[in-house]
Structure 1
Amino acid sequence: MNVFTYLDTPLGRMTIQANDQGLLGAWFTTQTTQPDDLGEQDDGHAILNQAALQLSEYFAGIRNQFDVPIAAKGTAFQQQVWQALTTIPFGETWSYQQLADAIDNPKAVRAVGLANGKNPISIIVPCHRVIGKSGKLTGYAGGVERKAALLKLENAI
């Protein structure tokens, strides 16, 4: 059964969704990638509480790695890209090409970009750390302003 809760952050309210296997999603309320059915609200679920605590610590500047279990749903390719995202070090940025290279598929830059954009777990699976080859801050489902704020929080820009 899927459950969810809300977390107020310095960058706006987030919705966090999980099941007993792990975290399914973490979205800013303005993101359009949230599922229509979040499940039941459960402010006492262990995984939701762990994710909320870790995100709060991240925004407070006392956490730079996450260890909440992840159970996001996606294709095998999306899962591969999302796993690679978790290897981008805190405070660093990669280009889409570097991300494609990391999954040993250097010609899949465009597909990597699409998979990156479908990442359901904002911040914890750090798709905000992927930027254009020129260094330009390209799209972010939570808004480019939030992407810039997250990278600034990490001293990456």
Structure 2
Amino acid sequence: MTPAITLAKQKKLDYKIHEYTHEATAESYGLEAAEKLGIPSMQVFKTLVVADDKDKLAVAILPVDQKLNLKKMAKAIGAKKANMADPILVEKTTGYVLGGVSPLGQKKRLTTVIDTSAQQQKTMYVSAGKRGLEIELPPAQLLATLSAKFADIVMD
């Protein structure tokens, strides 16, 4: 059981766990999840961690088949600039390994932005805290649980 699943249970979220065999050679963990679970890639979301111009970390949740627009993300978190955070710092701060970073149950609560496309989904899939494990839940529940906000954060 991961911290993400523990939190989902505690908060009594409407969630389902989906497990698949992760291939170490996969180029994209998120696209691999969509393919192995047989679901549209626009319903599977990746969790990325960025650092703003003051080295404050924030979480971006976006479809696995999209790229993060760092300018839009910076604007969404009220910063001048944003860059991808240092991987070692990401693992230390979230408590998860890269490729298995869940937005749920992180060691430290970070400002979180969910791409607006999630609002069009009945349910969305995010990492459940390790490679090969996804948690499916309604976007509104993820938003409320994380005190997140919706914003357009993907490349045009």
So what's the TM-score if we normalise by structure 2? Answer: 0.29
Of Structure 1 and Structure 2, which has the larger fraction of its residues in strand? 2
Greater Rg by CA: 1
So what's the TM-score if we normalise by structure 1? Answer: 0.29
